[in-house]
Amino acid sequence: PQLLEEQERLIATLIEAHRKTYDASYSDFSQFRPPKRGDGSPECRNATNPFLMSLLNSDMDELPKASASGAEAAAGDELSMLPHLADLVSYSIQKVIGFAKMIPGFKELCTEDQISLLKASAIEIIILRSNESFTMEDNSWTCGSNEFKYQIGDVMQAGHKLELLEPLVKFQVNMKKLDLHEAEHVLLMAICLFSPDRPGVQDRCRVEEVQEHLTETLRAYIACRHPLSCKHMLYTKMVEKLTELRSLNEEHSKQYLQISQDAVNKEDLPPLLLEVFGNPTA
Ligand code: 0VQ
């Protein structure tokens, strides 16, 4: 197969849409509430035994007052990265919405279907687009300075657990290894968005039509643009990534529900996040 002129235009539109909505200088990140990382102090590392810690570290043989010990500081460190990461994800959702609106066929859907597709795919598209900042050098998402370098431990300090983070990092590494062209990267995000089997979608046929057009364009692109040596099975591997994203999405939903219930400061979660991922107190 060869790339039709119309498919070339579609790819150009998607690349343009992504460039307009993904700022690779990450200059907006300083506007989010600041990241707060554990200070690495003994109290912090041993947050589960603050009283034992303080007795072992002093000559006194009396229990310290709860407020004077590391108990509160340590407890206060829980979910310390949540405000920053919640702002980053809320910002990312806004960018994903901007990207979606520029995909041919999205605006033609009714608003209800647009909402259903975005709600269901937002975290998956965020996981995909975040691969651009992910580096296999130290398995981190590096978004400029050290302040905006995110490692597993940072996402754990937002309340997430290894059940999500371990497969998430594996996913990022395997995505990186696919070494996708920008055209393939943006097509995969668009294909992910136009999944007809998401909950609540009314006009499944319209969504499926657009998705098939996107997948046909991806197959044609790989067939004629990707070097012979590495296009072997690439399309299949990309489709497998969509399956992995579903399971990451499911685990994220579970952990997000727990985080949103644990969060003492309800302001930690911006309104857009509550609308997209759910508001347990609503
Ligand atoms: C940071 C997005 C982009 C870039 C870097 C994100 C990064 C996740 C899923 C584990 C964040 C989840 C956050 C929340 O669950 C909570 F509550 F913890 F804050 C939220 F907000 F959803 F509710 C990164 C984080 C996550 C997924 C992938 C990557 C690292 C820059 O490329 C770009 O949009």
Ligand 1 geometric centre to CA of 85 (Å): 6
Q: What is the pLDDT of residue 1?
A: 72
d(CA 118, CA 247): 17
3-class SS at 134? strand
d(CA 245, CA 188): 11
The pTM (predicted TM-score) of the whole model is 0.90
Ligand 1 probe mutation, 78, 85, 143, most atoms within 8 A of CB: 85
| ipTM associated with this complex | 0.99
Ligand 1 geometric centre to CA of 158 (Å): 10
Asked if 10 and 104 count as a contact pair (C-beta separation under 8 A), the reply is yes
Which regions in the chain score pLDDT beneath 50? Answer: 42-43, 67-76
Q: What is the pLDDT of residue 282?
A: 85
Ligand 1 geometric centre to CA of 79 (Å): 14
DSSP 200: T
Ligand 1 probe mutation, 87, 93, 139, 155, most atoms within 8 A of CB: 155
For the record, the structure tokens of 192 come out as 């992910």
Q: What is the pLDDT of residue 63?
A: 60
Work out which ligand 1 atom sits closest to the CA atom of 255. 15
